[in-house]
Chains A and B, each alone.
Chain A
Amino acid sequence: MRAFDVVTAKDSRHAVALLAEHAPTAKVIAGGTDLLADLKFSSHGPAMVVDISRVEDLKAITITDEGLSIGALVTHTAIMRSPIINDMFPALVHAAHTIGAVQTRNLGTLGGNLVTGVPSMDSGPTLMALEAIIVILSPAGRRQVPMAEFFLGPRKTVLKPDELLAEILIPKQNLGKPTHFLKFGLRKGQALALVSAAASVWVDVDTQICSAPRISLGAVAPTVIRAPKAEAHLDGRPLTADAMAEAGRIAASEAKPISDFRASAGYRRELVAVLTKRALEGAYELAKTKRRGA
């Protein structure tokens, strides 16, 4: 690794001040699972690394007036063990479990997974299907960006060099929304997603009519994406087997997968149809066991 200096932030204010001082040649390190792996193979490194791993005020999982707040430094292991998240969003627990292995889940953070901006990120689809909001701190203050607008392209996000991803907010109206996540990789452990899909939906238990269906796909476009046409196909209709299968086919037409050494574009497209249908089925199963607001 090329030489760099390290400054350690004490809290989020300090982290923002340090970033402002050292941007644009600074990089932020939290869990380090992506940053250090990248820097070891990079011909040019940052002059300064701002270590935010000790910033305690970004490690909380709390219910606030705005919704469920997950601090950017919450590790994947912490998500898996959080009673609140297990209760409200088992899909987030499942998504966290598909990331890397125990050692990387103990280090890696939710915010870190998002700032990589890779289309195959395992945390992305579930959060996007829950219309998560990214809370960003900078010397200018605090701003919120809807998850769907956060990613600009592969490894590109809206974050400016002096901005810090501080918090991930699942809005109040989606608390407890039935959600399901599926990842298809070539192995169970330590595999990148060929395709991942998440679906969230409210279902009226008496009429089976669904509302606010949200479908999000990973690894099949330059960023994690929503599948708005598939969503529109379902909204306000009964969630039948046919409707879910058709939503899967529509989602496949909305994906823009590439061929690479892991899989062909055609195979990925087929997977989108199947995983979307199954994610909807999983969310529907959950919906049958709980009512809105419950």
Chain B
Amino acid sequence: MAKVTITVNGEARTVSVPPETTLLKLLREHLNLTGAKLGCDVGDCGACTVIVNGKSVNSCLMLASQVDGFDVLTIEGLATTDQLHPLQTAFEEKGSLQCGFCGPGVIMSAKALLDEEPDPSVERIRDALAGNLCRCTGYSKMIEAVQAVANSVNSHPSVKSA
């Protein structure tokens, strides 16, 4: 067994897992964080996207032991009990999701982008979401939602994304 200590959504957690366990499996099956989804399991669909040390990654393509000591942010870490993250609010207001399966991954990709680049062009948003497949929406309203958050962050510098 591999002993893995990670900070998930601000909280330090230690678990023992078989060495071949992926980060996604660690999150879903050992820590009960089922927001990140198991889609293709080979890095094509992006449903498993989480943020590790500030960078968006496919959690299905990392071994749990590779993130030992690292900081992991999942979709569960964005909202508080009384307030959604601005991206979540924008996705809700714009009707950006339909079935919603891809949503956690898309929102984490968008968050990673906005954290690095608060005012991205549409081209940059498209590039940032290229690794997240959605079979329902056609993406337009997701891009509009990310733009809306980017604009609100810029017009109100005090509004920071989590």
A54 to B2, CA, bound (A): 16
Shortest CB distance B91–A (Å)? 19
CB contacts (< 8 Å) of A2 on chain B: these are 20
With A100-B43, A101-B46, A102-B128 already in contact, the answer to whether A5 and B19 are too (CB < 8 A) is yes
| Inter-chain contact A188/B19, CB cutoff 8 Å | no
Q: Is B97 part of the binding interface, using a Cβ–Cβ cutoff of 8 Å?
A: no
| Inter-chain contact B127/A102, CB cutoff 8 Å | yes
With A103-B46, A103-B58 already in contact, the answer to whether A3 and B18 are too (CB < 8 A) is yes
Report the stretch among B8-16, B27-35, B61-69, B80-88 that lies at the interface: B61-69
| Inter-chain contact A103/B42, CB cutoff 8 Å | no
Q: Is B22 part of the binding interface, using a Cβ–Cβ cutoff of 8 Å?
A: yes
Which among B22, B49, B66 has the greatest number of chain A C-beta atoms within 10 A?
B66
| Inter-chain contact B61/A37, CB cutoff 8 Å | yes
Chain B interface category by residue count: 20 to 34
Q: Mark B49-66, 1 if CB is under 8 A from A, else 0.
A: 100000111101111011
Q: Is A29 part of the binding interface, using a Cβ–Cβ cutoff of 8 Å?
A: yes
| Inter-chain contact A106/B41, CB cutoff 8 Å | no
Q: Tell me which of A1, A37, A107 contacts B57 (CB under 8 A).
A: A107
| Inter-chain contact B130/A101, CB cutoff 8 Å | yes
A142 to B127, CA, bound (A): 39
CB contacts (< 8 Å) of A33 on chain B: these are 43, 58, 61
| Inter-chain contact B42/A40, CB cutoff 8 Å | yes
A107 to B23, CA, bound (A): 13
Q: Is B77 part of the binding interface, using a Cβ–Cβ cutoff of 8 Å?
A: no
Q: Is A63 part of the binding interface, using a Cβ–Cβ cutoff of 8 Å?
A: no
CB contacts (< 8 Å) of A100 on chain B: these are 43, 131
CB contacts (< 8 Å) of B2 on chain A: these are 6
| Inter-chain contact A53/B109, CB cutoff 8 Å | no
CB contacts (< 8 Å) of A231 on chain B: these are none
Q: Tell me which of A31, A40, A45, A103 contacts B109 (CB under 8 A).
A: A103
A39 to B41, CA, bound (A): 11
Give chain A interface residues in 1-51, CB to chain B under 8 Å.
1-6, 8, 29, 31-33, 36-37, 39-41, 45, 49, 51
Give chain A interface residues in 34-90, CB to chain B under 8 Å.
36-37, 39-41, 45, 49, 51, 53, 77
| Inter-chain contact B19/A3, CB cutoff 8 Å | yes
Q: Tell me which of B49, B63, B130 contacts A36 (CB under 8 A).
A: B63
Q: Is A189 part of the binding interface, using a Cβ–Cβ cutoff of 8 Å?
A: yes
A120 to B49, CA, bound (A): 25
A106 to B58, CA, bound (A): 9
CB contacts (< 8 Å) of A104 on chain B: these are 43, 58, 61, 131
Q: Is B44 part of the binding interface, using a Cβ–Cβ cutoff of 8 Å?
A: yes
CB contacts (< 8 Å) of A3 on chain B: these are 18-20
Residue of A nearest to B45 (CB): A190
A49 to B66, CA, bound (A): 12
A101 to B113, CA, bound (A): 13
| Inter-chain contact B56/A106, CB cutoff 8 Å | yes
A287 to B65, CA, bound (A): 46
| Inter-chain contact B66/A101, CB cutoff 8 Å | no
Q: Is B146 part of the binding interface, using a Cβ–Cβ cutoff of 8 Å?
A: no
A45 to B20, CA, bound (A): 11
Residue of B nearest to A48 (CB): B19
CB contacts (< 8 Å) of A31 on chain B: these are 61
Residues on A lying within 8 angstroms of B by beta carbon are 1-6, 8, 29, 31-33, 36-37, 39-41, 45, 49, 51, 53, 77, 100-104, 106-107, 188-190
Q: Which 7 interchain pairs have the tightest Cβ spacing?
A: A101-B131, A189-B130, A37-B42, A6-B19, A106-B55, A101-B130, A103-B58
Task: Given contact pairs A36-B60, A102-B131, enumerate 11 new A-B contacts (beta carbons under 8 Å).
Answer: A3-B18, A4-B19, A32-B63, A37-B42, A49-B20, A49-B63, A53-B66, A102-B112, A103-B49, A106-B56, A107-B62
> Can you list 30 pairs linking A and B with CB atoms under 8 Å apart?
A3-B20, A5-B19, A6-B2, A6-B65, A31-B61, A32-B61, A36-B42, A36-B62, A37-B41, A37-B42, A39-B20, A40-B41, A53-B66, A77-B55, A101-B130, A102-B109, A102-B112, A102-B127, A102-B128, A102-B131, A103-B43, A103-B57, A103-B58, A103-B109, A104-B58, A104-B131, A107-B61, A188-B130, A189-B130, A190-B44
